[in-house]
Each structure stands twice: as structure tokens, then as C-alpha cells.
Amino acid sequence: MKRLLVTGGTGFIGSNFVRMVLSEHPDCLLVNLDKLTYAGNLENLAEFLQHENHVFVQGDIADGSLVARLLDEHRIEAIVNFAAESHVDRSIAGPKIFIDTNVGGTLTLLEAARDKKVARFVQVSTDEVYGSLGSEGMFTERTPLRPNSPYSASKASADHFVRAFGHTWGLPYNITRCSNNYGPYQFPEKLIPLMIHNAIHDKELPVYGDGLYVRDWLYVYDHCTAIWRVLERAPSGKIYNIGGCNEKPNLEVIRLILKHLGKPETLIKHVKDRPGHDRRYAIDASKIIRELDWKPSVTFEEGIARTIDWYLANTGWLAHVVSGDYQKYYDTMYANR
């Protein structure tokens, strides 16, 4: 695919994908549509904003006329949909925007893709649509969808719409479901950048419950290469789980961060758990490894060190994104726990 519409391309995963494509695939034209909400940041793409193969458009994926115009004007061959409200805590505080963006926005993109006969639609989804695991087993592509939060429910709904458009109208599509991403440019509401930011400034590290919630950690660059592999090689209609093969409890991750920064574990503060907190996610990524010859290239120990060092080297970026509304959000989430 040489002409892509990427939605949400200034957010964490989206901007890393844009950077990867423009750096490694010079024959690709990339149109980047982003609403620039709190998590979207043009600074994430500072050195690429004037790139000859990058067209940035500020706009809403729910604006059907805008999406249709971009597909026509740039002769788009594929859509990669990263655009989403994505934080579980925020979905608990206010679910409606998650329906508007994650379901309504995806539906608008699908209608435009169908009408303009786009050759491929890639929906970037999450392992959270599967629900929660006990101490045994892993999510496969055949695992039933049992979302437990408003966020994951909205993503599961969007996945169903993508599949429905494929079945009803023959829209060529793929769905990818990734485990927890980490790496450069991640907004510090998520676990790893939040803990790095607080530890750098000797602030308490708020840990939900007992801290033993288990996640499979995927370095964001590896996620981006997997999506590209899906674009290049995957048959239409296939769903792929993308995982980092790095299951770790939150407390272990936090202790690694503190050790790397030379900070004491006394900074850890256990706080009241959030409602409906899923105990464990674990991805079986054997299908994409077997069928598309992809596998993670970065171990967790390498990736977490790179990530911490990036935040240390980009304190200006970090200071900018945690100013203003972020502090109000942080106080709302953790002040009374």
C-alpha cells in the first residue's frame, strides 16, 4: 500500500507509526488526520511536519464529508485507524465520548471506505476487548469478546462494525489487537510514562490495589512494524493478535523504573483500586508470527531502558504535556484515593 490515510497520527502509537513509515518506506504517501485532542500532539512529529510525503490535516474522523474529500483528493488506497479515546479511567469517568469517537467515528470511516472502494481498512484494536484472564491461558483470535470497561466495550463494538462491513459489503479489512504498548511519546496518564514522570520528580507513584495486575508489554516500534506487515501481507478478513511476549505485574515494572532511575521504592503508594479492574491480559501472538513472519525485536529490559532514557532526554516535551488540564485530571484521579 503506497497511499495511506492514517487517523490519530499525532497520538502515541499513531505518531510512532507515522515516524516509522516516513523513515523506512520513502515511496509511501501518508495523509495524517487527527483532531488534536489532549492526547494528540504535533510535537510528536516535529521533524516530519514538512516531510514531502506527509500531509497533516486537523479534523474529526466523524466528519464524513472531510474523510470522503481526503480519500478522493489523495487517491487513498488504505486506511489505518488509530484514532480513539483510549484510557480506561477516563471511560469510567465519562463513557459517552468513547461511543462518539470509537464507535461513531469508526462507522464514518467505514462508510467512506466502502463508498470510495478503498482497498484495505485496518482497525487498530486492543486485547482489552477479550476481557480478563485468570492465572492460566492466553487470548487467541478465537477468544470471545467480553469487554469489561466502557473503553473496551466501545472498541469491541467498533471491531464488530468493521467485520460487518466486510461481510455485508465486501470491504477488505483486517483487525489487529495489541497488548499494552510503551515507548517514546506516550501521554503520562498510562502506567509507564506516569511512573517515569513521577519518579523523575520524586513524587509518589500511585499504584492501584495490590499492584499485581499482569499485562503483556509491547514496545511501540514493534507494534508499528506488525501493522505494516499486516498491510503488506495479510489476506483480507484476518484478525491478528500482536503481543510483546513480556508478561509482567505492574509492581515489577515500577520497580524496574525506580531501579533504572536510582530512586527508592518508598515512592510507591498503593491507592484505591479502580472499578472493574481486569486482573490479567496475555496475548498469544503465534498466528501473526506464523503467518506473516513477524516477531518482537525488542526485549522488555531493552525497551524499558530506551523508554526511560527517552523521557530523561525529552524533559521539555514531558513538561509541556503535563501542564494545564493534565494536572486537574491527575488530581481528580488520585488525590482522594
DSSP 149-211: SHHHHHHHHHHHHHHHHHHHH---EEEEEE-EEESTT--TTSHHHHHHHHHHTT--EEEETTS
For 173, the grid coordinates are 479489512
Topology of domain 3-181+219-242, CATH: Rossmann fold (3.40.50)
Mean of pLDDT over the chain: 93
- pLDDT-derived band at 329, boundaries 50, 70, 90: low
Q: Which residue has the higher pLDDT, 149 or 330?
A: 149
- pLDDT-derived band at 302, boundaries 50, 70, 90: very high
Q: What is the pLDDT of residues 111-154, one digit of tens each?
A: 999 999 999 999 999 999 999 998 889 999 999 999 999 999 99
Lateral strand order in the sheet of 3-7: 54-58, 29-34, 3-7, 78-81, 120-126, 173-178, 239-242
- Give the pLDDT score at 325: 60
- Give the pLDDT score at 148: 93
- Give the pLDDT score at 194: 95
Place of cell 479489512: 173
Specify which residues 311 forms β-bridges with: none
- Give the pLDDT score at 122: 98
Q: Is-contact 284 274, C-beta < 8 A?
A: no
Task: Please give the Cα distance from 206 to 208 (Å, whole number).
Answer: 7
Q: Which residue has the higher pLDDT, 328 or 65?
A: 65
263 CB-near residues (< 8 Å, 6+ apart):
199, 202
Task: Please give the Cα distance from 326 to 71 (Å, whole number).
Answer: 34
Q: Tell me if residue 130 is catalytic.
A: no
336 CB-near residues (< 8 Å, 6+ apart):
none
55 backbone dihedrals φ, ψ, rounded to 5°: -115, 115
Place of cell 478522493: 72
Of 127, 216, 247, 278, catalytic: 127
Place of cell 488520585: 334
Q: Which residue has the higher pLDDT, 337 or 30?
A: 30
Q: Is-contact 284 328, C-beta < 8 A?
A: no
Pick from 39, 267, 7: nearest CA to 118: 7
222 CB-near residues (< 8 Å, 6+ apart):
244, 296, 297, 298
> Residue 39: pLDDT above 90?
no
- Give the pLDDT score at 267: 97
The amino acid that residue 314 corresponds to is N
Q: Within 10 A of 307 (CB to CB), how many other CB atoms are there?
A: 22
Q: What is the pLDDT of residues 241-282, one digit of tens each?
A: 999 988 999 999 999 999 999 999 999 999 998 888 989 999
- Give the pLDDT score at 321: 86
- Give the pLDDT score at 85: 87
Taking the chain, what is the end-to-end CA distance rounded to the nearest angstrom?
48
- Give the pLDDT score at 334: 57
Residue 149, CB-side half-sphere exposure with 13 Å CA sphere: 25
Of 85, 128, 216, 222, catalytic: 128
Lateral strand order in the sheet of 180-182: 180-182, 214-219, 247-249
- pLDDT-derived band at 331, boundaries 50, 70, 90: low
| Residues recorded for the chain | 337
Residues 105, 106, 107, 108, CA torsion sign: positive
Cα-based distances in Å from 309 to 178, 206, 217, 268:
24, 21, 18, 21
pTM of the model: 0.93
- Give the pLDDT score at 87: 76
Task: Please give the Cα distance from 142 to 144 (Å, whole number).
Answer: 6
Q: Which residue has the higher pLDDT, 86 or 194?
A: 194
Percentage of the chain exceeding pLDDT 70: 96
Q: Tell me if residue 128 is catalytic.
A: yes
Q: Tell me if residue 60 is catalytic.
A: no
For 277, the grid coordinates are 479492574
Residue 63, CB-side half-sphere exposure with 13 Å CA sphere: 14
Of 60, 85, 130, 151, catalytic: 151
Task: Please give the Cα distance from 135 to 280 (Å, whole number).
Answer: 7
260 CB-near residues (< 8 Å, 6+ apart):
304, 305, 308
Place of cell 478478513: 237
The amino acid that residue 72 corresponds to is D
